[in-house]
Amino acid sequence: MPSRTVTLANPTGLHARPAKVFAQAASASGHQVRLTKGDTTVNGRSVLSVLTLDCHNGDRITIDVEGDEAESVLTSLVELVESGLGEHEAGS
């Protein structure tokens, strides 16, 4: 089961809109997506679970995906997080 660890670069972390953007993308992938911060793992398709994981700018989170095209879904979710989850430019 492929997994990658990324650092949240967008200002609000996984709160408000970004939490929704992530959960919706995870749902749309049709795959099981799990999100881990520290020793807590939650359903990445659940906006409430993502919100209550309380991830801030600068936190490291691990995304893992299960399913037929897990590798490409994982890549696109990582890209989504790195691109700032719909918030303005994240990288300098």
Partner 1 sequence: MSAARLRGSGAAPGVAIGAPFVVEPPVTELDDPGPSGPPAAEKVRLHAALVQAAAELHAMADRMRSVAGEEAEIFEAHAAFAEDPEVEEQAAPLIDAGRSAVAAVAAAFGAFRALLAASSNDYMAARAADLDDVCSRVIAILSGVRRGYDLPEGRSVLLARELTPSQTAEIPRDRIAGIVTETGSPTSHAAILARTLGIPAVVGASGVLTVAAGASCVAVDGRTGEVHVEPDADVLAALTARAAEEEARRAELSAASDEPGRTSDGVAVELVANVAGRDDLAAAVAAGAEGAGLVRTELLFQDRRSEPTVDEQASYYGEVLAAFPGRRVVFRTLDVGADKPLPFVAREPEPNPALGVRGIRLSLRRPKLFEDQLRALLRAHAARPGGGVTGVMFPLVSRVDEVVAARSELERVAGDEGVPLDSVEVGVMVEVPSAALAAGRIAPYVDFFSVGTNDLLQYLFAVDRLVAEVAELTDVCEPLVLDLIAHVVDNASAHGTWVGVCGETASDPEVAGALVGLGVRELSMVPGALGEVKDLLRRHDLSALRSVADAARHAPDAAAARRILARLT
* The pair of three-digit structure tokens given for residue 82, joined into one six-digit string: 């790195």
Of 11 and 38, which CB lies nearer to partner 1 in the complex structure?
11
* Closest C-alpha to 11, from 91, 75, 76, 74: 91
CA distance 9 to 91: 7
Query: Do 49 and 67 contact (CB within 8 A), yes or no?
Result: no
Task: Mark whether 88 is an active-site residue.
Answer: no
Of 43 and 62, which CB lies nearer to partner 1 in the complex structure?
43
Report the interface residues with partner 1, using CB under 8 A. 11, 13, 15-17, 20, 23-24, 27, 43, 45-49, 51-52, 54, 56-59, 88-92
Q: How far is the CB of 31 from partner 1 (least distance, A)?
A: 13
Q: Which residues pair with 62 in a beta bridge?
A: 5, 36
**DSSP state, residue 25:** H
Q: How far is the CB of 78 from partner 1 (least distance, A)?
A: 19
Q: How far is the CB of 11 from partner 1 (least distance, A)?
A: 6
Q: Give the active site residue among 15, 31, 56, 88.
A: 15
Q: Which residues are catalytic?
A: 15
